[in-house]
Structure 1
Amino acid sequence: MNFVEELRWRGLLHDIMPGTEEELAKGMASGYIGFDPTADSLHVGSLLQIMTLVRFQQAGHKPFALVGGATGMVGDPSGKSQERNLLSEEILNHNLNGIQKQLERFLDFDCGANSAEIVNNYDWFKSFTFLDFIRDVGKHITVNYMMAKDSVKKRLESEVGMSFTEFSYQLVQGYDFYYLWKHKNCVLQMGGSDQWGNIVTGTEFIRRKDGGQAFALTSPLIKKSDGTKFGKTEGGNVWLDPKKTSPYQFYQFWLNSSDDDAANYIKIFTFLNEDEINKIIAEHAAAPHLRVLQKALAKDITERVHGFDALETALKTTDFLFGNGSLEFLNSLDDEGVLQVFEGITQFEISKEEFSAGYDVLTLLADKTAVFPSKGEAKKMIVGGGVSVNREKVPAPEKVFMTSDLINEKFLVVQKGKKNYFLVIVK
């Protein structure tokens, strides 16, 4: 199965320029995808394009990942309802470094002729003067051609309008393609379907300026089966940086996918073949309550993005919070690890000096924290056996907690009912 066939059966082919498949069939070809440095980490929305580059390399072709040091200073209007804030050079460089490190985890940079390369378009734009640009690039693409692009038309028809800066973006991206075609023999640019207009501007510029031929293909923009945006949670973007989205949260994002979404995602975001995927889907259909499909998806992607150790921690965290995991797991973690487990869970702080004399459970849970709105409600639930601290049922409302009860001499884990967790931090 060749690269295009692989994309097609996985549902990852949206547009393809005629002749692209035939060009790739000739032998090893070079192609690239651009990544936008608006943050110092990529998110799961970028993962599709990363996987596309990896599949491209696995098919025997040479992948280039372009980080937009220059285009990041301009801002892509595609799919945007208004102009975004421009980044300072310092922030931009910080973002570029973070993104480059992430890309290096996925692509193979030491495999011979088709080793991956990372390029930064600032390297060829930094000495390009404005007059040189409008003379050498601008004269080859007409305003009529640029105005016909959907990304331009939609903005011009809106109340916001479009600045010249954003209007020129497709020329800048078009020149990127030309530069890589000219100097790196890149014959293919790939991206999301919202990038089609910008990509074909590059192929047209190559044709008009040097009479060359280049190709394009795009993948569909991923949406959830209910029509909502993929890659978002109540807390915002799901990032690839474990400091922004912990491996546990990352694992949970995939684990909480609906059946329809998981069946789609496992084709898009894993390297499992068609037979393996069909087997997992059939196993899931036989016992949907076991969530075999979601678990296979979450494990595969979490391990690929964060590594085996992080996956193990995510699995143990999930077992601790939703299964029968033991307190030994928390005892094995340092303070930062414990805080990561309970990231996003309500936390309360008490000074060590206050806690040194001990607290009876009713005062602790109703007065010093807000686990319960009153001592009466706390007492009622404790008597009913519905409150646990550090994985043990609170035996009676008179129970007193001392510093010796603290995990890492710092934490108490309070469980109210089956699924409501709270973290008390003593410091």
Structure 2
Amino acid sequence: MTHYKSELLTLLSSRGYIHQMTDAQSLDDLAAKQIVPGYIGFDPTASSLHVGSLVQIMLLRRLQQAGHKPIVLMGGGTGKIGDPSFKDEARKLIDDETIAANVAGIKKVFEKFLTFGDGPTDALMVNNADWLNGIEYIPFLRDVGRHFSVNRMLSFDSVKLRLDREQSLSFLEFNYMILQAYDFAHMAKGMGVRLQMGGSDQWGNIVNGVELARRMDGNEVYGVTTPLITTADGGKMGKTMNGAVWLNEEALPSYDYWQFWRNTQDADVGRFLRLFTDVPLDEIERLEALQGSDINEAKKILADAATTMCRGEEAAQAARDTAQQVFEQGATGGDLPSVAAGAEGLTIIAALTGLGFVASNKEARRKLEEGAVKVDGDVVRDPQYQIVPSTDAVKVSLGSKKHGLITL
């Protein structure tokens, strides 16, 4: 591991966040002697971010922990276009009203991870619509567009892959990388921002911004990207059978969020503790060395720490208590996902889809055939099986990890 003199790069390196940097030594020198304002952009395409964005959120948290200033850039302007990077097709365009509602929902997530305020290292949330919406086309082409080579833009992987597959890339989307680079130059000039961070897929966009800031205003700025976070089996981090693992409580119950971390593969525990919690490094080394069933204790510590950070201590405790009741005592926990049934009850297939355990009736039937479904501990295979709850809730389980309640 490279030895850095700044607390910032030492922290990022020791916890596994660094993939690429534009000028490591100069950034290290800068971070060692002054507060570095750094930002990450998030396009408000939904009212909550999901676990796939958590590395970036944690990066901003680490920036603040190391005594620097994190800036959350909401893409109210760029969000109207959509980042084409490594996408197969254009995103649906969203209107101003939806963007505003999404920004409000996303801000609630950041308030859990960052300290906002007016101090020199307090977090700040800004919206690029404030400067992009007022751009005049001809001056923008003349002042900014002239710094971009189309030949070079076509060589970026994010563009090349779309063209190689002969999938349409609209002129609208092609402009995205210019606007993102302009964000960096604009914030460097007007707000003193010196650092942009992002996922490895943003490297080309970040380098463009570094070069544009230098060409337009002579500002020296820097870029850092994180590695692509995959699970030990090569899967995409944060994607489950039931879809995205949302960070907002309204989008995903805290029990399900806790359970997502509790189900981490053995080989990922140490890495995820470093990236997604504040557990000290020496404690992480002890936990990741645990063998056999003892590693489950490390997974519970990961689940507790990650859930506490995102949902609060009470939510984490309630989720852990519920899990203990369900797994260790065989009882039904009140914090489990639930579906209410009428007096006539509902079929096992409706229960499985209603609880979100399966994506379709076809998948539900397959799970029943496999013998993976239990009702109050007994295997059920009949797709016509009717659940009629009385005063007590009926517990439905899919495999050993998904449990829910059918209530009257």
With the shorter chain as reference, the TM-score category is: 0.7 to 0.9
* Aligned amino acid, residue 263 of structure 2: N
1:210 aligns with 2:210: no
1:296 aligned to 287, 301, 325, which one? 301
Provide the residue aligned with 2:173 in structure 1: 166
Letter in 2 for 1:43: H
CA contact (8 A) 1:63 1:114 kept: yes
Q: Are 2:137 and 1:145 equivalent residues in the alignment?
A: no
The aligned counterpart of 2:366 is: none
> Which one of the candidate residues 5, 12, 20 is aligned to 2:10?
5
Give SS of 2:113's match: coil
Counterpart AA for 2:97: E
Give the corresponding residue for 1:342. 337
Q: Does 2:20 match 1:15?
A: yes
Mapped partners of 1:369, 1:106: distance in 2: 35
Question: What is the 5 A alignment of 1:84-103?
Answer: 84-103=91-110
Identify which of 324, 331, 337 aligns with 1:319: 324
* Misfit runs of 4+, over 6 Å: 414-420
Are 1:147 and 1:153, in contact at CA under 8 Å, matched by a contact in 2?
Answer: yes
- In 1, the alpha carbon distance for the partners of 2:224 and 2:405 equals 49
The 2-side partners of 1:228 and 1:418 are apart by 20
What's 1:253 paired with? 260
User: Could you say what secondary structure the match of 1:295 adopts?
Assistant: helix
> What is the rounded CA distance, in whole Å, between the counterparts of 1:180 and 1:167 in structure 2?
22
How far, CA to CA, are the matches of 1:200 and 1:56 in structure 2? Answer: 20
Cα distance in 2 for partners of 1:262, 1:16 equals 26
- Cα distance change on mapping 1:181 and 1:290 into 2, 3 Å: closer
| Cα pair 1:387 1:416 within 8 Å, conserved | no
TM-score for both structures, normalised by structure 1:
0.80
Partner of 2:90: 83
From the CA coordinates, give the structure whose radius of gyration is larger. 1
Kindly indicate whether the alpha-carbon contact (under 8 Å) linking 1:303 and 1:311 is maintained by their aligned counterparts in 2: yes
Q: Which moved more, 1:139-148 or 1:171-180?
A: 139-148
Q: What aligned pairs does 1:32-43 form with structure 2 within 5 A after superposition?
A: 32-43=39-50
The code of the aligned residue for 2:324 comes to D
Structure 1: 5+ residue runs without aligned partners? 331-336, 356-363, 371-385, 390-401
How many residue pairs are counted as aligned between the two chains? Answer: 371
Mean Cα displacement is larger for which, 187-196 or 414-423? Answer: 414-423
Say if 2:239 is the partner of 1:232.
Answer: yes
Residue 422 of structure 1 deviates from its aligned partner by 6.2
CA 1:216–1:388: 2 relative to 1, 3 Å = closer
1:115 CA drift (Å) = 0.9
Q: Does 1:406 align with 2:388?
A: no
CA distance in 2, matches of 1:232, 1:55: 24
2-side partners of 1:145 and 1:365: how far apart? Answer: 58
Q: 1:416 to 1:234 in 2, by over 3 A?
A: closer
Say which SS state the counterpart of residue 226 (structure 1) adopts: coil
Q: TM-score, normalised by structure 2?
A: 0.83
Pick aligned residue for 1:181 from 188, 192, 199: 188
Alpha-carbon distance in structure 2 between the residues aligned to 1:74 and 1:416: 40
Deviates more, 1:148-157 or 1:45-54: 148-157
Distance 1:208 1:190 in 2: 20
**SS at 2:60's partner residue?**
helix
State yes or no: 1:31 paired with 2:38. yes
Structure-1 residue corresponding to 2:370: none
Between the aligned partners of 1:141 and 1:150, the Cα distance in structure 2 is: 16
Q: Could you tell me how far 1:325 is from its partner in structure 2?
A: 6.4
Indicate the percent of aligned positions where both proteins have the same amino acid. 41
Q: Which runs of 5+ in 2 are unaligned?
A: 1-5, 353-373, 378-387
User: How much does 1:131 deviate?
Assistant: 2.2
Q: Deviations over 1:206-250 (max 9, x none)?
A: 111112211111111100111111101111000001222211111
